[in-house]
Amino acid sequence: MSHSSEPRPMTSRRSGPLKGVAQVPGDKSISHRALILGALSVGETKITGLLEGEDVLDTAKAMAAFGAQVERHGPGEWTVNGVGVGGFAEPEGVIDCGNSGTGVRLIMGAMATTGITATFSGDASLSRRPMARVTDPLALFGAEFTAREGGRLPITVKGAVDPVPVRYRTPVASAQIKSAVLLAGLNVPGDTVVIEAEPTRDHSERMLAGFGADIRSETTDEGHVITLKGRAELRAQPVAVPRDPSSAAFPVAAALIVPGSEIRVPGVSRNPTRDGLYVTLLEMGADIAFENPREEGGEPVADLVVRHGPLKGVSVPAERASSMIDEFPILSVIAAYADGVTVMNGVAELRVKESDRIDAMARGLEANGIRVEETDDSMTVHGAGNVPGGGTAVTHLDHRIAMSFMVLGMAAENPVSVDDGSPIMTSFPDFLPLMQGLGAELG
Ligand code: S3P
């Protein structure tokens, strides 16, 4: 969707203290999964708090194309009447997943063990991203793929008619690969096993268990092992989507760097497989309180209270990378305002996100007077205290790059611009009014 919109240049300026309540949108990962599992269930799944960003809306359309009845009843309120495991119908048109790697990879998994054929496409960013990481394991089930050079989209998937169970060790830490294999395993007789060296976000496992699948996770000598019993019947469930910690990171970062700020961010997921940024910020000396810890929709949540204060540079260990994989762009902005050097280790995966995020952040920070060093799998930001600003960053169709540079400008000496802020619509449609409501100057 964002691929068809006009570029929208944006600029942010040094802002007064940010104050107020930031109601950030629903979790993107959980929103995709709620629609997909709803479509694979028997009965009606009621979803509240669904993220209505372009990525998730593309997944909703895809589920309708595969035969589910998907309806919107009000803001964030949706129902899905599913077709049951193995019940997907062959879509008539091409499934356009827009900008969403999660959408395309999970949906390919969900249909790969059903004897139908579907063709997937995406925008220029998604069409550059590696898909062999999911088509390789899905081929082990018996699915067949026709892809563009380098395993890129568009891809036609011929689902396996007689799928066989798979035992698969993920070659890189990726919840998308894990989830694609697990979703494929639903329609296969016997146990499908995924082994990961480091645990990645576990929303698929939590939600599959909630929908009645027989799934277990254990840590063994092999690593983190997830076993799913196939040919399961999924039962429709209500899903209350918690607020997205990756989206919360932007107002949180803004409050940390703009002097005099104090904001509240209610109901944010504190799932331990997602909270690496918050662990890192506390190490940097950030003033963040986690109030009213509770459980919502099967996920731990808390209300965050964030105040501006001095920050110091830290070294982020490689083992933490997967629990904050989407937060490195905004961490590199916070690091620019910290005292000393921040080193981010084990972040090679950033090079194959919506953009090459190491390159996009390094070039954009340099354009705004910040010193950055990079290797294939690390990034080092030299904190400056005073950030000169005055530069324009190229966002490469990447929502998190756009939002990160908008935050950078809120405390910089000169305005900071991006060439195109339209990709923000993929994950955080209310970013602009929400930040303006806190007192930030951007537009
Ligand atoms: C996601 C997993 C991560 C993350 C993405 C969402 C998911 O990707 O970057 O934004 O919902 O499973 P990888 O699995 O490729 O690391």
Domain range 10-26+242-442, CATH class: alpha beta
**CB crowding 177-215: b at 16 or more within 10 Å, else e:** bbbbbbbbbbbbeeebbbbbebbbbbbbbbbbbbbebeb
Q: How far apart are CA 86 and CA 161, in angstroms?
A: 10
Atom of ligand 1 nearest to the CA of 176: 14
Per the annotation, the verdict on 96 as an active-site residue is: no
- Angle at 163 (CA atoms; ends 129, 220), nearest 5 degrees: 75
Residue 222 is classified by DSSP as T
Sign, CA dihedral 61-62-67-68, equals negative
3-state SS assignment for residue 95: strand
Pairing of strands 392-393, 416-418: parallel
Q: How many C-alpha atoms does 313 have within 13 Å on its Cβ side?
A: 19
174 is in an annotated binding site: yes
Q: Return the pLDDT at 297.
A: 76
Q: Is the CB of 31 under 6 A from ligand 1?
A: no
Could you tell me which of 351, 364, 310, 353 has the C-alpha nearest to residue 334?
Answer: 310
Beta-strand ranges (E) seen in 340-377 are 341-345, 372-375
| CB of 201 closer than 6 angstroms to any ligand 1 atom | yes
Residues recorded for the chain: 443
**Three-class DSSP category at 242:** coil
Instruction: Name the class of domain 28-229.
Output: alpha beta
Element holding 146 (H helix, E strand): strand 144-148
Domains 10-26+242-442 and 28-229 share a fold: yes
Q: Look at residue 3 in the predicted model and tell me its pLDDT.
A: 47
Tell me whether residue 100 is annotated as binding. Answer: no
Mean pLDDT by 10 residues, the chain (443 residues): 73 98 98 98 98 98 98 98 98 98 98 98 98 98 97 98 98 98 98 97 97 97 97 95 97 98 96 98 98 90 97 98 98 98 98 98 98 98 94 98 98 98 98 98 98
Question: If you take atom 4 of ligand 1, which residue's CA is the nearest one?
Answer: 326
Q: What pLDDT does 1 receive?
A: 44
Residue 56 Cβ inside 6 Å of ligand 1? The answer reads no
Distance CA 287, CA 306 (A): 6
Query: Model-level pTM greater than 0.95?
Result: yes
> Could you tell me the residue ranges of all domains in the chain?
10-26+242-442, 28-229
Q: What residues have CB less than 8 Å from 264, skipping those under 6 apart? A: 20, 21, 22, 303, 304, 305, 306
Q: Whole-angstrom Cα distance, residue 9 to residue 429?
A: 16
DSSP letter for 30, please: H
Q: What is the DSSP letter of 85?
A: T
102 C-alpha to ligand 1 centroid (Å): 6
